[in-house]
Amino acid sequence: MSHKQLIAVAGAAGTQGGAVIDALIAKGIAVRGVVRDKNSAAAKSLSSNGIELVEATFDNVESLTEAVKGATGIFSLQMGSHPGNKGEETQHAKNLVTAAKVAGIDQIVHTSVARAGEHENFVGWNEGRWEPTYWEEKAAAIIIVKEAGFSYWTVIKLPLIMENLLPSKSAVLFPTIAQGKLFSALEPETVLDWISPQDIGRFAAEAFAHPEKFNKKEFAIVGDKLTLPEIVETLSSLTGREFEVKTITREEASALGFHELSHQSFSWMNVEGYKVDPQEAAGFGIQPESLRSYLEENKSLLQGTEKL
């Protein structure tokens, strides 16, 4: 790709989009942020840093097409679908890909979830143990990206994002964390796979910078693999605060305010999990950071856990 690059970043105001923008800028690659609302706090922060922003929604192909015109590449992600919005993620992927193709974009880098496409092999899948919408639509979006006919495509699959251990997102993952209690369906021996937002950005930016190297590659990335007791030990050592770990039942989770799908997700991790092999992405020359390193970098935010 000899012509000057301009990457349109969908979801620019979100965690992943922001990390991708930072990594692209660090490489000297021009970016354009696609946001739903230029007046949101996150969008204003991007704008104040000189990032070009355009408004568009995943529901509107015309607005997306206008937003990405002139770009050479596009960063793609969609929010996961749940039973209440079944079909939405698949349609959003179709809309974004359609817009990119109409605009003449050569390259797409799409992020999904680790093990997307493997759902039919999960223990208990045929018995309906796991809510199917999330996994089926993640897999469908990947197929849409791969079969769209882009000159260059890359699919990066993610495990848990480390930011989910920082306020305020930690309150979603662990609603009782404000009381110093990390209660969940997780068994003490269950290993959780993690990746930092910055590493998501680094892998995506590297794919844009070296499209041939990453072309037609679908792979998962991981920065650390830890049990919940090991994570709590790290949290405690960094904050000086003791955290209690407890495995709870579905009934206990419901009483504590856990969403049913959240509890089911933790249960799935006990049985299946993301199982990311660190060697899967080792050939790309990026060394992801550990969870401790990430939390140390964000220690000031981590201390805010006490004030949730």
> What is the mean pLDDT of the segment spanning 246-271?
92
Instruction: Say whether 71 sits in a helix, a strand or coil.
Output: coil
Tokens of 271: 């049985």
Buried b (16+ CB within 10 A) or exposed e, 177-211: beebbbbbbbeeebebbbbbbbbbbbbbbbbbbeb
pLDDT at 304: 60
pTM score, whole prediction: 0.95
Residue showing tokens 């251990």: 165
Which residue do the tokens 């899967």 mark? 280
Alpha carbon distance 29, 40 (integer Å): 24
Mean pLDDT of the chain: 94
> In whole angstroms, how far apart are CA 131 and each of 126, 127, 128, 139, 266?
11, 11, 7, 14, 13
- Strand-pairing partners, residue 7, are 31, 73
Confidence of residue 80 (pLDDT cuts 50, 70, 90): confident
pLDDT of residue 3: 65
Within a domain: residue 140? yes
| Percent of residues, the chain, with pLDDT higher than 70 | 97
Residue-number span of the structural domain to which 103 is assigned? 6-158+195-222+275-287
pLDDT attached to residue 83: 74
Confidence of residue 92 (pLDDT cuts 50, 70, 90): very high
pLDDT at 79: 83
Q: What pLDDT was estimated at residue 81? A: 66
In a domain? residue 14: yes
**Residue 308 — pLDDT band, cuts 50, 70, 90?**
very low
In a domain, 269, yes or no: no
Distance CA 243, CA 240 (A): 10
CATH number of 109's domain: 3.40.50.720
CA nearest 211: which of 134, 109, 131, 119? 109
Beta strands in the chain, from DSSP E residues, in sequence order: 6-10, 30-35, 52-55, 73-76, 107-113, 152-158, 160-161, 181-184, 191-195, 217-220, 224-227, 244-247
> Does residue 167 sit within a domain?
no
Name the band, by pLDDT with cuts 50, 70 and 90, for residue 193.
Answer: very high
Instruction: Kindly report, residue by residue over 213-244, the tens digit of the pLDDT.
Output: 999 999 999 999 999 999 999 999 999 999 99
Q: Which pLDDT belongs to residue 199?
A: 98
Residue partners of 206: CB distance under 8 A and separation at least 6:
23, 214, 284, 285, 286
Over residues 171-196, the mean pLDDT reads: 93
What is the spatial distance between Cα 128 and Cα 13, in angstroms, rounded to a whole number?
35
Within-domain flag for 170: no
Q: Establish if 163 belongs to a structural domain.
A: no
**244 in any annotated domain:** no
Q: What is the DSSP letter of 166?
A: S
Q: How many domains does the structure of the chain reveal?
A: 1
Q: Is residue 175 part of a domain?
A: no
